[in-house]
Amino acid sequence: MFTVQPITDFADPRLAPFRTLKAQFDHWHEGFFVAEGEKVVRRLLESPHEVISVLLPPKWFPAYELLLAARSEPISVFVAEKEVLENLTGFSMFQGLLGLARVPRPATVAELLALPRPHLFAAVDGLSNAENVGAVVRNAAALGVQAIILGETSAPAYLRRAVRSSMGTIFRLPYLGCRVREEGRPIVGQGLTDTLRQLREHGVRCVAAHPHTDRRRLWQADLRRDTCIVLGAEGDGIRPEVLAACDEAVAIPMAAGVDSLNVASAAAVFFAEAQRQRGCA
């Protein structure tokens, strides 16, 4: 169910999230997020997430009409030429498509454990850059990871830039956030170390991607069983207390003079190796 209306008043309160695209943390605190671009908005409309509104140029409406008609919730479709939309948002937009939706409820550990086995989860620690979080999510969705666990020191996966960097693949991946919202305010829930310990109690082996270990290489780790791959920030890496909560730390062998990879690149290598060991690649 949707209604189409031209944009006639930039002060319309329903357009406020699109006027404040830089305030992605404020949006998350209030329980919604903005999706950008043709593929991401399309994937949003194909997802089970609650959509509030869509902004698009008239030429794009026919391509989205069937997707909008298939939705059960009321959606406001605001239509204007791309130049008008850019004046509204203050951003230059390649396609001029934006969507607004509710942040979905995070999964619980019990719900993750109910997913088909052998489990393959990914946890991130200290990834404050939303685009890095989104890139890890995109790799996870592409390479068979079942769920993403976001440590309390990591950016939420439903920030605008994280959603954009994930290319909307976050919509298909369950997430568990150690930093959550409660009654409109952010709080820290169960910490990542406790979450990892809980997974280990249920037989999930937690493997840290840690470049500063000379004990074991990635190919020596057994990733065929229930596994959670733990990734840290590029600068500081995994916090000591999180590293201590893992079963083992393994490294990707690298050429002399290179000590680390971008976290998204390292994630792709780990996820692909897990798929290779499981006979999926």
- What's the CATH number where 114 sits? 3.40.1280.10
My answer on whether 145 and 68 are in the same domain is no
Count how many domains the chain has.
Answer: 2
My answer on whether 113 and 248 are in the same domain is yes
CATH number reported for the structural domain that contains residue 18 in this entry: 3.30.1330.30
Q: Which of 39, 67, 102 is where one domain is finished?
A: 102
- Amino acid identity of 215? R
pLDDT digits (tens, 9 = 90+) for 119-160: 999 999 999 999 999 999 999 999 999 999 999 999 999 999
Helix (H, G, I), strand (E, B) or coil at 218: helix
Q: How far apart are CA 204 and CA 271, in angstroms?
A: 16
Q: Which of 62, 82, 102 is where one domain is finished?
A: 102
Q: Can you read off the two tokens belonging to residue 277? A: 């060991």
Domain boundaries, position 244: 109-277
Q: What are the CA-CA distances from residue 232 to residues 66, 95, 144, 210, 267 (Å)?
A: 42, 34, 20, 8, 10
Q: Is the alpha carbon torsion for 29, 142, 205, 251 positive or negative?
A: negative
My answer on whether 249 and 113 are in the same domain is yes
My answer on whether 170 and 85 are in the same domain is no
pLDDT less than 50: residues of the chain: none
Report the pLDDT value the prediction gives residue 125, as an integer from 0 to 100. Answer: 96
My answer on whether 39 and 144 are in the same domain is no
Instruction: Give Dmax (Cα) for the chain.
Output: 64
Q: Which of 69, 102, 135 is where one domain is finished?
A: 102
Report the pLDDT value the prediction gives residue 184, as an integer from 0 to 100. Answer: 53
Report the pLDDT value the prediction gives residue 215, as an integer from 0 to 100. Answer: 65
Report the pLDDT value the prediction gives residue 213, as an integer from 0 to 100. Answer: 61
Alpha helix stretches (DSSP H) within 104-204: 109-113, 130-142, 160-165, 192-201
My answer on whether 139 and 165 are in the same domain is yes
My answer on whether 168 and 268 are in the same domain is yes
My answer on whether 160 and 32 are in the same domain is no
